[in-house]
Amino acid sequence: MVINKDVLEDGFVNVIYPNEDEERNKKALEEECRVLKHHVEELTEIIAVKDISLSLYKDEKEYIMSTSKRLNEVVLATMKNTISIDLIKEISFPQTGNEFKDSCAKVFDAVIKSVQQLKHDLTESKNVIEAKCKSIAIWTDQQNADANSMQKTFEKELYEKKSKLALYNDEARRNEIKIKELQSSNDDLRNQCGKLQQQAFDLQKSLERERQQPYLVQENAELKTRLKQIDKWIKQQNYNTDNYTSTIEQLHLQLSKIGKDLQSVKSEKDDLQTRLSSMAGERLTKGNPSITDLGDPNRPMKIGEKYGELYDNEWTDAMESVESIQNCFPGLKNAEQEEIVIHHMYRLLMCCFRECRNISMKQIQNIGQKVAEAMCLNIKSEDELFTLPGCKEVQIYRRQNSEGFANYLVKSQIICKDVLENWDYGHKSEIVLQELITTPFFHKCVHICWCMAIQDPLMYLAEHLPPDTKFDKNEYKEFVKSGDKVKFMVWPALYLHKDGPLLHKGVVQAYW
């Protein structure tokens, strides 16, 4: 059988059968070919759609990869602090019309906002940490400066204490030398007493031999008188020798405890020197301040030293211990409050000095007037009162017992009652004054001012320097500010007597 085949335009083969069955088969095959062709067209369309989706997926993947890389770089730069917050704000992800890209853009924008907040928080934390580091650095520097200052202060105090210890050791050695001298003097006195006793014995024998001679009666009486005087002198010397021996023994005991009782040794030595030389010193120094009794512990030079120690020690302590000043003047600065305390302390010192001087002069005047009335003397001036019998002895006794009378003045509270009266000062305070009176500063003021007032002639505290006037830097030193003019008085200068030589400089708050 012959089969005719025709090639169709679409590439399919059209088979031609010679009979009817073949025609039907041909039609069935053609129908099947059309169906297959339709399926092929559908598959082609599906493949095209898939190709488009694949292209979109690739584009979205590249978008996600590039954007993620960009975000990662921003996050790393933020963590390394190499990008500013302004640059972060400029980063944006615009809408593209693609649903997937637009949703990713919203997520990326949220991430950028989180990064911005993180950067902001990081910047604030950094600023806070830097501020705290600066504060800690300043505090550390201050602590180091304070520690260095305290170390210098301690070194200075240690040096001063070592210097004082050296002075005390020197004083102890001088005390030992003085004890040896006193022992030698004591031995000499014993020898003299022995010789005098032998002379008295010889005189007594001579009196017994000559008692029977009537022409020597008067001479015997004179010899008896002389013998009594010698006996009395010997007894006095024996008494003094016993006193010296007792004193020397006390000094030996005190020297064995020189580390603890060095001041007591010095006091005993000064007391011994005072007893030995009080009468001679009084005759020598009467009315002559240029000659001092070196055995007097309250001589002007020593008073000047104590006056300086009063300012260096008790004055400073009183400045720090006055607590009521803050309650009385709460609105003022610390420097202004300190100035108020200084004014009160200066006023208290000058009042104490004036009242001690008045009490001293009144004592001598009262005694002189009583003596003059009892002896019916015509006294023309106050100077004559000091030369009357009894006045000189009172002056000697007052100097020997100055400590006791000064204690009486403090306990009886008879001085400095009217400190605030007639005082033209805007910040005067009874509370501050009463607190100062309870301090060691006031007690020592009374003791030193009383010692000044019983000297002959009287020692002198300089009068108040008016503000805004120039001061002599040879007699005054600046307080805490330098200058050549007086702002206010801090501490008066001390002189041996009025118009006399300077013993201790005063202190003023100065300005230019």
Helices (H), 211-311: 217-256, 258-285, 300-309
Q: Would you state the pLDDT for residue 262?
A: 58
In this structure, the dihedral spanned by the alpha carbons of residues 488, 423, 311 and 499, taken in order and rounded to 10 degrees, is 80
112-121, 179-188, 499-508, range with greatest mean pLDDT: 499-508
- Residue 345, amino acid: M
**180-202 per-position pLDDT tens digit:** 787 777 777 777 767 776 776 66
Global model pTM greater than 0.75: no
Residue 221 lies in a domain: no
Question: Is 338 part of a structural domain of the chain?
Answer: yes
- CA nearest 509: which of 449, 468, 452? 468
Report the C-alpha gap between 325 and 461 in whole angstroms.
27
Q: What was the pLDDT predicted at 17?
A: 46
Its sign, for the CA torsion 226, 229, 234, 240, is: negative
Query: By 3-state DSSP, what share of the chain in percent is helix, strand and coil, each rounded to 5?
Result: 70, 5, 20
The torsion angles phi and psi of 122, rounded to 5 degrees, stand at: -65, -40
| Amino acid found at 438 | T
Q: Is residue 174 part of a domain?
A: no
Q: Which two tokens stand for residue 285?
A: 């120094």
Average pLDDT over residues 150-163: 78
At 253-275, the pLDDT tens digits run 777 777 665 565 566 556 555 55
Longest alpha-carbon distance in the chain: 224
Q: Among 141-145, 454-458, 476-480, whose mean pLDDT is lowest?
A: 141-145
Average of per-residue pLDDT values in the chain: 78
What separation in angstroms does the CA of 162 have from each of 41, 168, 176, 267? 118, 10, 21, 21
Domain count, the chain: 1
Beta-ladder partners of 489 = 508
- Of the candidates 334, 302, 267, 309, the one whose C-alpha atom is nearest the C-alpha of residue 440 is 309
Say if 68 falls within a structural domain. Answer: no
> Pick the residue with more confidence: 477 or 324?
477
- How far lies 327's CA from each of 2, 278, 323, 343, 432, in Å? 140, 51, 8, 17, 10
Alpha helices in 386-499 (DSSP H): 391-400, 402-412, 430-437, 440-453
In a domain, 135, yes or no: no
Residue 212 lies in a domain: no
**Residues near 53 by Cβ (< 8 Å), separated by ≥ 6?**
none
| Lowest-pLDDT range of 226-230, 234-238, 260-264, 387-391 | 260-264
- The tens digit of pLDDT for each residue in 430-476 reads 988 888 999 999 999 999 999 999 988 889 999 888 999 999 999 99
Chain center to CA of 19: 138
* Cα 347 to Cα 422: distance, rounded to the nearest angstrom: 11
pLDDT of residue 246 exceeding 70 = yes
Show the domain range for 500: 296-512
Instruction: State the alpha helices, DSSP H only, in 11-96.
Output: 20-80, 85-90
Residue 485 lies in a domain: yes
Task: Give 347's contacts (C-beta < 8 A, 6+ positions apart).
Answer: 419, 423, 425
Asked whether the predicted pLDDT for residue 41 surpasses 90, the reply is: no
Residue type, 66: S
- Whether 151 maps to a domain, the answer reads no
Which residues lie closer than 8 Å to 503 by C-beta, 6 or more apart? 300, 301, 303, 304, 307, 459, 494, 495, 496
Tokens of 25: 């088969």
Q: Supply 10's token pair.
A: 């679409």
